[in-house]
């Protein structure tokens, strides 16, 4: 039961974040490891600032 509640909470939190436009840092880190291993990933604060700037600029924030 505890694992179900934890899994549900994580899913609900991620859904809420997507609904309000908060970017997924874990997905960004996975992408960096898989596609850009030579680059150091941004710290969360820099990642969030870049994502918000891209969101309000209308570029979508994608690198590739």
The structure tokens 């490891």 sit at 33
Helix axes 44-57, 25-35, angle to 10 degrees: 100
Give the pTM. 0.63
pLDDT (tens digit, 0 to 9) for every residue of the chain, 64 residues total?
888 999 999 889 888 888 877 778 888 999 999 999 999 999 999 998 888 888 787 655 566 6
Which residues have C-beta within 8 Å of that of residue 17, sequence separation ≥ 6? 24
The residues near 62 (Cβ < 8 Å, ≥ 6 apart) are none
């Amino acid at each position: 039961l505890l694992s179900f509640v934890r899994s549900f909470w994580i899913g609900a939190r991620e859904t809420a974040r997507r609904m309000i436009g908060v970017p997924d840092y874990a997905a960004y880190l996975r992408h960096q490891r898989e596609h850009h291993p030579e680059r150091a990933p941004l710290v969360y604060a820099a990642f969030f600032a870049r994502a918000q700037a891209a969101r309000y600029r209308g570029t979508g924030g994608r690198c590739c």
